[in-house]
């Protein structure tokens, strides 16, 4: 078993699930393993509904489905992990990663969201930078990959501040099935494409940030 799967399995067994602590503008930011408590389910359900247009899939959402997703697709999935973001003890969002490409020694940044009513300027940029460094350090990765809709300009600006490189823009077409929809790659004709994915990549040497000036602590 690789370092990635060993570490992920270990993290999911930590008692309090805390992996990171950051001090930013006198706020205490903590990243802890996702749980299935009602406040977590309610927040993730709300965020998924608010940002539904920024996901590759769309479907009828319920809180029970959200709870089942946390259990089956995250906690019981050996390839994925999700952490809740706490600011001074209050849950305000999440960030995670998933999948492991053994040939590229890479994993994918995933599910980075924040309650839009919670406004602290620059907070998600600092969280992403420290989380990305933690991913490189913890899993000893060579690369981190990601994708997002090209019209998600606000998130792309945050990614650029962290050093991500845009590799390609992939044309997409919306398909419908089983009371839901999915954006799929449209190989036939870019002119007929409704949206595009930005394919992005990051190496440790390209990660931006003077970490000597950032007050943080890694617990794993």
Which residues contact residue 127 at a Cβ distance below 8 angstroms, ignoring those fewer than 6 apart? 22, 29, 31, 85, 95
The CATH number assigned to the domain holding 75 equals 3.40.630.30
Residue 11 belongs to a domain: yes
Residue 111 belongs to a domain: yes
Q: What is the pTM of this model?
A: 0.95
pLDDT at site 182:
92
Residue 220 belongs to a domain: no
Residue 200 belongs to a domain: yes
Across the chain, which has 220 residues, the per-10-residue mean pLDDT values are 86 96 97 98 97 94 97 97 98 97 96 95 97 97 97 97 96 89 81 88 96 96
Residue 57 belongs to a domain: yes
Where in the sequence is the domain holding 95, given as residue range(s)?
3-214
Residue 93 belongs to a domain: yes
- Overall domain count for the chain: 1
What token pair was written down for 159? 């990614």
Task: Give the chain's end-to-end CA distance (angstroms, integer).
Answer: 19
Residue 165 belongs to a domain: yes
Residue 219 belongs to a domain: no
């Amino acid at each position: 078993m690789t370092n990635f799967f060993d570490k992920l399995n270990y993290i999911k067994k930590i008692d309090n699930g805390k992996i990171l602590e950051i001090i930013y503008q006198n706020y205490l930011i903590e990243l802890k393993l996702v749980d299935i408590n009602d406040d977590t389910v309610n927040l993730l359900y709300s965020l998924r509904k608010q940002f539904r247009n920024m996901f590759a899939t769309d479907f009828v959402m319920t809180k029970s489905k959200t709870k089942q997703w946390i259990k089956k697709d995250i906690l019981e999935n050996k390839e994925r992990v999700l952490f809740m973001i706490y600011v001074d003890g209050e849950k305000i969002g999440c960030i995670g990663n998933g999948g492991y490409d053994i040939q590229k020694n890479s994993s994918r940044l995933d599910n980075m969201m924040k309650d839009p009513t919670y406004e602290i300027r620059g907070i998600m940029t600092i969280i992403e930078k420290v989380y990305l460094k933690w991913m490189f350090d913890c899993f000893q990765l060579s690369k981190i990959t990601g994708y997002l809709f090209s019209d998600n300009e606000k998130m792309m600006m945050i990614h650029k501040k962290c050093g991500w490189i845009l590799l390609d823009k992939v044309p997409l077409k919306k398909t419908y099935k089983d009371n839901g929809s999915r954006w799929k790659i449209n190989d036939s004709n870019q002119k007929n494409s409704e949206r595009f994915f930005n394919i992005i990549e990051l190496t440790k040497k390209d990660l931006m940030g003077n970490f000597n000036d950032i007050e943080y602590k890694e617990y794993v």
